[in-house]
Amino acid sequence: MKFSLTGKNALVTGAGSGIGQATALGFAEAGADVWIVDLNETGANETAAQIREKGGKANVLLVNVTDQAAVKEAYATPASIDILVNSAGVSHIGKLDSTPESDFDRIYQVNVKGVYNSMQAAICRMQAAKKGVILNLASIASSVGIPDRFAYSMSKGAVLAMTLSVAKDYIKEGIRCNCISPARVHTPFVDGFLAKNYPGQEKEMFERLSGTQPIGRMATPAEIADLILYLCSDEAGFITGCDYPIDGGFIKLNN
């Protein structure tokens, strides 16, 4: 079977919902022993239950990715770390002058330090095995200016830079590192944002946001997860140090 992950331990952060959940489900279907890394116990257990219902292998690691000691302790649990997907992240709306320090620090702690903590805890395990794959979630905001996304763009630019650095530093040790850059994806975050900020106008605003993508709609989490599956599979063994836009034409066609 193409893109088989049979016999591999795959850790997915933020796997309790959205892209992380879709990735965990896809990995399990491909035969991986999935380790669900999330702070949300309800979401993590729901993902694990869906995997087990289909006969897959799922384990839950309840950990806050901003806590380095906790991450290192949790990541010592699997027998190996063959694949690491850093999907955990938070968003923020605001320009430079409307971004308070508290929000900037919160975005940095999760989106930047959380990825750093996760990769650092996994890299020594991969070095010992002389193999491994890391896939980070960047964003179109890593490459182009997005209005009212100052702190978020900062964090995703850092994810892109860290990805390239790790790919360069560990290529001789059999470790690959890539990232992907999605545009808007229809996740629970989007629904929650619309319900909170546009009560009664959710449908209208959803269509408006979808229309900002040249392809005319948002991506589904499963579509993002399919690209992640490929990049983490042995079939992508010649790919490292790359960022893949999956954006419905946003970067190149949104003129």
Residue type at 179 in one-letter notation: C
Largest Cα–Cα separation, the chain: 55
Q: Which residue has the tokens 């994810």?
A: 159
User: One of 116, 152, 198, 230 is an active-site residue; which one?
Assistant: 152
Copy the structure tokens of residue 69: 């000691």
For 151, which DSSP code? H
Closest CA to 244 of 153, 142, 112: 142
Q: 244 catalytic, yes or no?
A: no
Beta bridge partners of 57: 33
Copy the structure tokens of residue 152: 């978020």
- The beta-strand segments (E) located in 66-130 are 83-86
Active site residues: 152
